[in-house]
Amino acid sequence: MSTTTATLEQQLAWIAVDWGSSNLRAWGLNEHDQVITQATSDKGMLSLKADEYEAELLRLVGDWLPTTGQTDVLVCGMAGARQGWLEAAYLPVPTRLDQLSQGAVTPTLSGDQLRVYLLPGLSQTRSTATHFDVMRGEETQLAGLVADSPDFTGLACLPGTHAKWATLKAGAVSGFSTYLTGELYQLLANKSVLRHSIGSDKLQDPVCRETFIAAVSEIYAAPETFSSRLFGLRAQDLLDGRLPTGDTRGAVLAARLSGLAIGLELAGACRECPTDKPIMLIGNQTLSQRYTLALNTIGHQAQHMDGDAAVLAGLRLAHQSLKAANC
Amino acid sequence: MSTTTATLEQQLAWIAVDWGSSNLRAWGLNEHDQVITQATSDKGMLSLKADEYEAELLRLVGDWLPTTGQTDVLVCGMAGARQGWLEAAYLPVPTRLDQLSQGAVTPTLSGDQLRVYLLPGLSQTRSTATHFDVMRGEETQLAGLVADSPDFTGLACLPGTHAKWATLKAGAVSGFSTYLTGELYQLLANKSVLRHSIGSDKLQDPVCRETFIAAVSEIYAAPETFSSRLFGLRAQDLLDGRLPTGDTRGAVLAARLSGLAIGLELAGACRECPTDKPIMLIGNQTLSQRYTLALNTIGHQAQHMDGDAAVLAGLRLAHQSLKAANC
């Protein structure tokens, strides 16, 4: 063990951290920006006060640190929110994704082993678009997308509780929209009158897959019917003699609800975007597969980038631009 | 007291009951169908087992009854649901509203003072429309609308947790849709990320009124943006320097959420209906005023019928047709 630690200390060049609302992930990287160690914790922003972040970070990465000198720590996500460690003010769009580090803030630390940079989120106001929006954490995943192609142009989607759609032009975010899709699904499935009908979704089941596709099509064609189709789902459970019984029944209705929620999102996000260029999905594989199926249903192609790989690539890009600025 | 009771017993001709999920209301009527007494209870369908209804009804109206003979009790609402007193199967649309009593069921009672008729709800299946739907209780309010004009043709809306829109043709319901509007509002205002921003709605405040109208217009014109405008509301709270402070801030954002939810409903319900005929709103005055404002915003006129008056008129109509059938 002591050999490994010694090697780690010698190799460690800097630390990347994705510090979200409910957990954090830290990676130790060498001078070639390769991951040599990693750690996770459930101490997200929601469970920490501002003066508890430094101790939590040291608890997690203290063993990685060399005995002398200062180690850079690049942090994205909710640690930079107003209610987090220290506020890194939103950068207004349009913002080049290779310049996020220009908005980083450095909290004052009690020790001198670390130099922490909290990266900013992005904001959009009525002066730059038709509606207000914010993101914090996702911008670093988007930066990961442009790390290998600095002038990337296209549409990117980050599925999730609050799904983000960003329009990228020559490496800059020109505008974005957040859809409440994941949260709407959870509220409706667990807290509304539909909870009596919704089971566990199983998209691999052919009948669920078919139901999901049909629901995406229906709501994409007529988004104004969203609210009535929600109640219709409950009525279908009461009236439709053709529905399967047992667990499959709840799974089919869950697939329908998922299709309605994602279809509404696509109706808002994809109506006016060209179909000749694939939409870049950034996130976990399961959710990205579901989105790919939905996008294919309405005539769009999709590519997938792993969410963890994206955030790490984005933090690398930010670290490189910080080093370049400090030279 | 004894004088009043004696008079009541002598006058009482029949009893009307609206038995919902969470409460019930009973009216005693004379032979001219005039209300001579009433009572309410919080023992709705959700708090009663099937064998507890008779006792609860007798507890509420027992003092009204004559010492001899049987009294008719006409009941609408959830008491006739499968999980209620006794199931009165849904009548499929199209159904004439003056013939609801043909689907009434009569539970077996332990005593012989009452003769109870549970009125049915209405159902719509894929064979009669594009989507499944059900109502139970609202059909009797709709019957109240046609009580004075048996061949009524037009569009009626019953605002609420699950708002109902019914197309009436010559006194029959030809189709209907339920919108989850009220439930969506409650879930989003109290359980979603928006709960941090939403206060008490005050539509009488001019700035709230203006915000409500703007939100209705926006979502009516672009219902596909519903989910992103929800998150935009949270972002606006974080970013918009022009928002008022204090209680008014939460009230303005509540008005916006209400406008988005109702505007989505109107986009689904009103897009293809003619503007030359007013839409009939059946419900309480506060909610009907809000819907009138929303309807006027999109170029529709509205008329209002009180919800209690409607249900009572519908129960009267059902009682008259029962009496006619029994002659």
DSSP string computed for A288-299? HHHHHHHHHHTT
pLDDT score, position A128: 76
Cβ-defined contact of B124 to A235 (cutoff 8 Å) = yes
pTM, two decimal places: 0.94
List, for chain B, all residue ranges whose pLDDT scores fall below the cut of 50. 1-3
Domains by residue range for chain A, with CATH = 2-136 (3.30.420.300), 181-307 (3.30.420.310)
CB atoms within 10 A of CB A274: 9
- Residues B181 and B187: their CA atoms lie apart, in Å, by 10
* Separation CA B112–CA A24 (nearest Å): 70
Task: Please tell me the predicted confidence (pLDDT) of residue B149.
Answer: 85
C-alpha–C-alpha distance, residues A188 and B234, integer Å: 19
Which residues in chain B are contacts of A224 at CB distance < 8 A? 223, 264, 267-268, 271
* Option in A132, A231, A238 nearest B180 (CB): A231
Model confidence at A6: pLDDT above 60: no
Contacts of A151 (CB under 8 A, 6+ apart): A170, A171
State residue A4's pLDDT score: 53
CB-based contact B226:A226 (threshold 8 Å) = yes
3-state SS of chain A: helix, strand, coil percent to 5?
45, 20, 30
Give me chain A's average pLDDT, please. 95
DSSP 8-class letter at B93: S
Buried b (16+ CB within 10 A) or exposed e, A225-246: bbbbbbbbbbbbbbbeeebeee
Q: Which residue has the tokens 């009797």?
A: B140
Cα separation values, A120 from A93, A127, A148, A272, B160, Å: 12, 20, 21, 30, 42
What torsion, rounded to 10 degrees, do the Cα atoms A312, A316, A317, A323 define? 160
- Contact of B236 with B255, CB cutoff 8 Å: no
How does B185-214 read in b/e, with b if 16+ C-beta sit within 10 Å?
bebbbeebebeebbbebbbebeebbebbbe
Taking the CA of residue A131 and the nearest CA in chain B, the distance in Å comes to 6
B161: DSSP letter = T
| Tokens 């439709």, located at residue | A240
Summarised one tens digit per residue, pLDDT across range B179-220 is 999 999 999 999 999 999 999 989 999 999 999 999 999 999
Q: What is the mean pLDDT of residues A164-188?
A: 97
Q: Could you tell me the two tokens for B154?
A: 């037009």
**Residue whose token pair is 């913002």:** A95
Contact criterion met (CB below 8 Å) for B137 and B298: no
**For position A5, what pLDDT does the model report?**
52
Q: Among B132, B192, B231, whose Cβ lies nearest the Cβ of A133?
A: B231
| Residue with tokens 């997690």, as numbered in its chain | A60
Yes or no, beta carbons of A271 and B131 under 8 Å apart: no
pLDDT at A1 over 50: no
Tokens standing for residue B299 = 């170029």
Phi-psi region of A285 (alpha: psi -120 to 50; beta: other; left: phi over 0): alpha
Cα dihedral angle (A72, A77, A82, A83), rounded to 10 degrees?
-100
The distance of B310 to chain A (nearest Cα, Å) reads 24
Residues with Cβ within 8 Å of B157's Cβ and at least 6 positions away in sequence, in order, are B163, B164, B165, B166, B269, B279, B280, B281, B282, B291
User: Å from B188 to nearest chain A CA?
Assistant: 8
**How far from A33 is each of A7, A220, A308, A327, B212, CA to CA, in Å?**
16, 43, 15, 18, 52
Section A103-132 average pLDDT: 93
Tokens of B19: 């038995």
> No. of H helices and E strands in chain A?
9, 14
Q: Answer whether B183 sits within 8 Å of A192, measured CB to CB.
A: yes
List, in order, residues 6 or more apart from B136 with CB less than 8 Å away.
B77, B78, B80, B81, B90, B120, B121, B122
A228 — alpha (psi -120 to 50), left (phi > 0) or beta? alpha
Order of strands, edge to edge, in the sheet holding B95-96?
Answer: B95-96, B172-179, B163-169, B154-158, B279-283, B302-306
What's the pLDDT tens digit per position in B74-110? 999 999 999 999 999 999 999 999 999 999 999 999 9
How far apart CA A172 and CA A145 sit, in angstroms, is 11
Q: Is B127 exposed, middle or buried (0-12, 13-18, 19+ CB in 10 A)?
A: exposed
Average pLDDT over every residue of A298-325: 96
Nearest-Cα distance to chain A for B170, in Å, is 25
In angstroms, rounded to a whole number, what is the distance separating the alpha carbons of residues A164 and A146? 16
Cβ contact, residue pair B131, A229, below 8 Å: yes
The per-residue pLDDT for B148 is: 83
For chain B, the average pLDDT equals 95
Q: What is the pLDDT of residue A272?
A: 82
* Phi, psi of A12, rounded to the nearest 5 degrees: -60, 125
CA distance B262 to chain A (A): 10
- B271 token code pair: 């897009």
SS3 call for A15: strand
Contact B281, B302 (CB under 8 A): yes
Q: Are B42 and B83 in contact (CB under 8 A)?
A: no
Output A304-309 pairs: Cβ under 8 A, ≥24 positions apart: A304/A280, A305/A144, A305/A145, A305/A280, A305/A281, A306/A282, A307/A141, A307/A158, A307/A282, A307/A283, A308/A25, A309/A144
For residue range A269-282, list pLDDT tens digits in order.
998 888 889 999 99
Number of helices (H), then strands (E), in chain B: 9, 14
What are phi and psi for residue B161, nearest 5 degrees?
A: -55, -50
B270, closest residue in chain A (CA to CA)? A224
Residues contacting B98, CB < 8 A, separation 6+: B143, B146, B147, B150, B171, B317, B321
pLDDT in tens, B289-299: 999 999 999 99
Cross-strand pairs, B164: B158, B178
- Closest-CA residue to A270 (of A242, A298, A292): A298
Whole-angstrom distance, CA of residue B181 vs CA of residue A205: 31
- Interface-testing mutation among A82, A157, A180, with chain B (most B C-beta atoms within 10 A): A180
Best residue in A83, A132, A184 for a mutation probing chain B (most B CBs within 10 Å): A132
pLDDT at B10: 86
> Contact B314/B290 with Cβ under 8 angstroms?
no
Percentage of chain A surpassing pLDDT 70? 98
As to burial, measured by CB atoms within 10 angstroms (0-12 exposed, 13-18 middle, 19+ buried), residue A302 is: middle
